[in-house]
Structure 1
Amino acid sequence: MINQLVQQLVHQALAAGLIEREDEIYARNQLLSLLHLADFNEMEMSEKIDIPDLLEQMVEYACSQGIIENLFDEKEVFSSKLINCFIARPSTVNQLFFEKYQQDPQAATNYFYQLSKNSNYIQMKQIKKNIEYKAETEYGAIDITINLSKPEKDPVSIARERAAEKTNYPKCLLCIENEGYAGRIGHPARSNHRMIRLNLLEEKWYLQFSPYVYYNEHCIVLSERHTDMKISPVTFARLLTFVEQFPHYFLGSNADIPIVGGSILSHEHYQGGNYEFAMAKANSDWEFAMGGFPNIECSIVKWPMSVIRLRSERKDSLVEAGAHILAKWKNYSDEAVGVLAWTKGTPHNTITPIARKKGDYFELDLVLRNNRTSEEHPLGIFHPHADVHHIKKENIGLIEVMGLAVLPARLKEELEEVGNFILGKTTEVADYHVSWAEELKTRYHAVASESNIEGLVREEVGKKFLRVLEDAGVFKRDRAGAAGFRRFIESL
């Protein structure tokens, strides 16, 4: 059986273009070595099995033979080593990428995206487990994802991770040293990981894809240096330079301070991809002109968060205008709407920027952020408030800002329970859902049925996520907020 699996994997790697016919025997021998096999007999192949399933079966074989322990991290490391037998070295991957780039930037990213999927670096089998749908709002259709793609670790693996000796290599999950790193207890397997070398403003940056993509071609662009996230005029210049090189992609940055920033603030990086979010499609609420920048179209985006959109054919003008807005915002306070720039020397204001190219025009969206807390809102005044924590409590980073909710796995079963509660099939729901479930039952008990309950609950989750975005907006979409936003624009 193991011979058949080896043969199948070699065959599938050939079919996927991971190797050429001349590489077949070499790759097979690499597999045999990892599997502690000294002999091999060619077998007739049975039905076609996909690469992720073949890897799973071979990992189970390795466990049964005592080659590895039956632990989550060890299995991930071994699976990554198996598929790495078929992947070219970084220099070859980069050479092929830039040969294709000379013809068409999209052809280059298509090649690299397909390689990352075929090599199981992008975990497509796991990603397909995610629950994804769109929810209609007054701002357009926002994306909802219940994240089921990350497999849960077993208790033994968790205990091993806690007891493992700490090491600073690689320093974090985004460092270049992850390329080809086997992995260890507590650090993911990266034998099958490749990065594309980029030049942004004469600096070394790297392009990779997220292993658990949340949207089409979800990529990460990271600095060669392990330095803290920082939003500055140089950030705007890098983002615009990238979208000039890859005009079919957008690129944005998480904010650079806690609460409103992303999950990794210790390594400067951006996220992008070939996807148009609801925010990118949103129309303008109103336009304005900014003194000193006559060749820039300025508008406020019709969006629950506070977004300034700048458009121009010239990158340098956008960078200068963005720098002007950033400098003003960092020191801007308006107590009437709860915006304070500083508390005892601690800064609160920053920006989440997103760049894209539309035809001859560059666009730079600047989302105003503030991370101040209060007794009423200890997790953040401009952060999801307590009444939506049962759906979303985590930071609102770049992806959420643009209109994609990444929601916790627990909601899969919990939302089914809420649906059954509305239908009167159960009286039990999680404590934190009780008041919401009762409200929905009162509203929908006359129209809810087995056939429509899932859609009704999903629609209500969309409304909750819209509330999350409204909570995160610094200038609310009411009379006071609109007046506050205009005061800031006038200050520019």
Structure 2
Amino acid sequence: MIYSDIEALLEQTCKEGLIKERDIIYVRNQVIQLLKMTTYPTHKILTSSGSIPELLDRIIDYAVKENIIDDILDEKEMLAASLMNCFMPRPSTVQTLFDWYYEQSPEQATEFFYKLSRNSNYIQTNRLDKNISHKVQTEYGEMDITINLSKPEKDPEQIKREQMAKQDESYPFCVLCKENEGYAGRIGYPARSNHRVIEMVLGDEKWFFHYSPYTYYEEHSIISSNKHRDMKINTDTFRRLLEFIDKFPHYFIGSNADLPIVGGSITSHDHYQAGAYTFAMTDAKDRYTFPIHAHPDVRAAVLHWPMTVIRLLADEQEKLLEAANSILTFWRDYNDEDASILSYTDKTPHNTITPIARMRDGSYEMDLVLRNNRTSATHPLGIFHPHEDIHHIKKENIGLIEVMGLAILPPRLETELEGVTKYLAGKSDEVHPAHEEWARQLRQTHGLLHNEEYAAEVVQKELGKKFVRGLEDAGVFKDDAAFQRFITKLNQKAVSSKN
């Protein structure tokens, strides 16, 4: 069976364009060497059926059964990546092909690279299919709700190996560093043998473009700095975002904030996220427009969105850049005690921005999401962070992806929400302790729902409401009066600076 799976993998990768027929003997020999085979049938072998990920999984199962590797996550991941690397072109070849496609059109270039990343199993589509996803209609548009099940759970042996492994390795520095390209991996660090990146220039610096192995949305891509340095939101950030959408006008690009609590999961390496997906925030309507006196050629609007968002639109890149920078500079030092906003505690900064850029009908558009990471005795995880009454659903940071309207919820909710559904349907009186109060509230609101399918729909809708509540908690201005004070002072400062 193993020979049938290997031959099927060769056939499938040839069909998908990863290799050519001329490569088959060479690649087969690379594969059997990794599987420690000393012989191979010379007669024609009937190929088995299955997708590339399915065939790869079966080959890994064989390696475990034959004691080629131990049955722990990291060893299986490393062998899988090394096997697929046999089918991958060298980085220089990938770059040359990407550049050639880019000359035809940016869309063709990203289509080529995205397909390569999927077919090489770097984007692990079989795991992504495990995610539980649905859409929920809200007053702010159609939100995406995802329970993230794509990242495999670690078994006790894996955890033990990680604890035993040395903790002082500094190569690569982190999972976003350029040195990950082709890195075999180690216990406690992901395998990247089949990883390829595209080199590009943004703001006179070298940057690297690649896709996320656990894509949360269509063509979820990462653009990471050539240098291992902390994330920073500044004029250079805005310039790079605008340059990127010049190069790839069919993509949006955004950055997580650069402060703890309001930042993403990785703030130690400067990077952005991009893609082809249309989030609910993309289609958000204006609540009202307002003038920025210092930048009359830039259209500014406050969005109808649960968080605090200013949308800027301009025909000229430089004018939009100047307007965005003036708002960031002003917001960094902005205080409004009535709105619980303090820009500093001693020398510790609290105000920053989550920016998102895109092309809109040939013009440059940038959303500036105002963020503040202050904490208090009442809200020790953050004043502008999901509050305690929704921690049973979402306790983690609100990062870039969630800012735009896509919830990434923890895997524990898969079974916990099944319990809430059964409780609403009258099939069980037990729910997870964290959800007891919420479940009672739902039953009071909706009554006893004897149809379990309908109860599941109710839980999905109520889950969406909880997510929106978390975004509202993260909004820094809770009413238009606070927003108007900010706009007024922004324009007053521009006038005083001019005088």
TM-score category (smaller protein):
over 0.9
Q: Which residue of 1 aligns with 2:274?
A: 272
Q: Which residue of 1 aligns with 2:456?
A: 454
Q: Which residue of 2 aligns with 1:399?
A: 401
Q: Which residue of 1 aligns with 2:87?
A: 86
The 1-side partners of 2:301 and 2:457 are apart by 35
The residue identity in structure 2 corresponding to 1:114 is K
CA contact (8 A) 1:7 1:43 kept: no
The residue identity in structure 1 corresponding to 2:189 is H
Q: Which residue of 1 aligns with 2:383?
A: 381
SS in 2 for 1:451: helix
CA contact (8 A) 2:7 2:47 kept: no
Q: Which residue of 1 aligns with 2:287?
A: 285
CA contact (8 A) 1:18 1:119 kept: yes
> Where do residues 124-135 of structure 1 align in structure 2 (5 Å cutoff)?
124-135=125-136
The residue identity in structure 2 corresponding to 1:113 is Y
Q: Which residue of 2 aligns with 1:244?
A: 246
Offset of residue 71 of structure 1: 1.1
CA contact (8 A) 1:287 1:300 kept: yes
CA contact (8 A) 1:337 1:484 kept: no
The two structures have a TM-score, normalised by structure 1, of 0.98
The 2-side partners of 1:81 and 1:488 are apart by 57
The 1-side partners of 2:262 and 2:139 are apart by 24
Offset of residue 480 of structure 1: 4.6
Offset of residue 40 of structure 1: 1.5
SS in 2 for 1:455: helix
The residue identity in structure 2 corresponding to 1:77 is M
Q: Which residue of 2 aligns with 1:297?
A: 299
Q: Which residue of 1 aligns with 2:138?
A: 137
**Structure 1 pair 294–258 and aligned structure 2 pair: CA distance change class (3 A):** same
The 1-side partners of 2:390 and 2:491 are apart by 33
> Where do residues 46-65 of structure 1 align in structure 2 (5 Å cutoff)?
46-65=47-66
The 2-side partners of 1:374 and 1:68 are apart by 50
Moved more, 45-54 or 316-325: 45-54
Offset of residue 130 of structure 1: 0.4
1:474 pairs with 2:476:
yes
Q: Which residue of 2 aligns with 1:35?
A: 35
The residue identity in structure 1 corresponding to 2:358 is R
The residue identity in structure 1 corresponding to 2:24 is E
- Structural RMSD (CA): 1.2
Offset of residue 171 of structure 1: 0.2
The 1-side partners of 2:57 and 2:306 are apart by 44
Q: Which residue of 2 aligns with 1:106?
A: 107
Q: Which residue of 2 aligns with 1:431?
A: 433
CA contact (8 A) 2:16 2:119 kept: yes
The 2-side partners of 1:204 and 1:482 are apart by 38
Instruction: List per-residue Cα deviations over 1:106-162 (Å, max 9, x = no partner).
Output: 000000000000000001000011011111111100110000000101111111112
Q: Which residue of 2 aligns with 1:263?
A: 265
CA contact (8 A) 1:35 1:67 kept: yes
The 1-side partners of 2:44 and 2:128 are apart by 32
The 2-side partners of 1:45 and 1:380 are apart by 60
> Where do residues 63-82 of structure 1 align in structure 2 (5 Å cutoff)?
63-82=64-83
The 2-side partners of 1:314 and 1:409 are apart by 44
CA contact (8 A) 2:128 2:150 kept: yes
The residue identity in structure 1 corresponding to 2:38 is A
> Where do residues 160-239 of structure 1 align in structure 2 (5 Å cutoff)?
160-166=161-167, 167-239=169-241
Q: Which residue of 1 aligns with 2:155?
A: 154
The 2-side partners of 1:334 and 1:182 are apart by 51
The 2-side partners of 1:43 and 1:305 are apart by 62
The 2-side partners of 1:485 and 1:393 are apart by 29
Offset of residue 448 of structure 1: 5.2
CA contact (8 A) 1:178 1:193 kept: yes
SS in 2 for 1:145: strand
Q: Which residue of 1 aligns with 2:497?
A: none
CA contact (8 A) 2:294 2:491 kept: no
Q: Which residue of 2 aligns with 1:19?
A: 19
CA contact (8 A) 2:420 2:431 kept: yes
The two structures have a TM-score, normalised by structure 2, of 0.96
Q: Which residue of 1 aligns with 2:356?
A: 354
Q: Which residue of 2 aligns with 1:5?
A: 5
Moved more, 109-118 or 449-458: 449-458
Paired residues, number = 491
CA contact (8 A) 1:286 1:300 kept: yes
**Structure 1 pair 488–23 and aligned structure 2 pair: CA distance change class (3 A):** farther
Moved more, 351-360 or 181-190: 351-360
The 2-side partners of 1:330 and 1:485 are apart by 12
Give % identity.
Answer: 52
SS in 1 for 2:158: helix
> Where do residues 295-334 of structure 1 align in structure 2 (5 Å cutoff)?
295-334=297-336
SS in 1 for 2:81: helix
Q: Which runs of 5+ in 1 are unaligned?
A: none
Offset of residue 447 of structure 1: 4.9
**Structure 1 pair 273–451 and aligned structure 2 pair: CA distance change class (3 A):** same
CA contact (8 A) 2:312 2:320 kept: yes
Offset of residue 285 of structure 1: 0.8
Offset of residue 482 of structure 1: 4.5
The 1-side partners of 2:434 and 2:486 are apart by 34
CA contact (8 A) 2:228 2:270 kept: yes
Q: Which residue of 2 aligns with 1:414?
A: 416
Offset of residue 444 of structure 1: 1.5
1:368 pairs with 2:385:
no
SS in 2 for 1:303: coil
The 2-side partners of 1:489 and 1:459 are apart by 39
The 1-side partners of 2:97 and 2:35 are apart by 30
SS in 2 for 1:205: strand
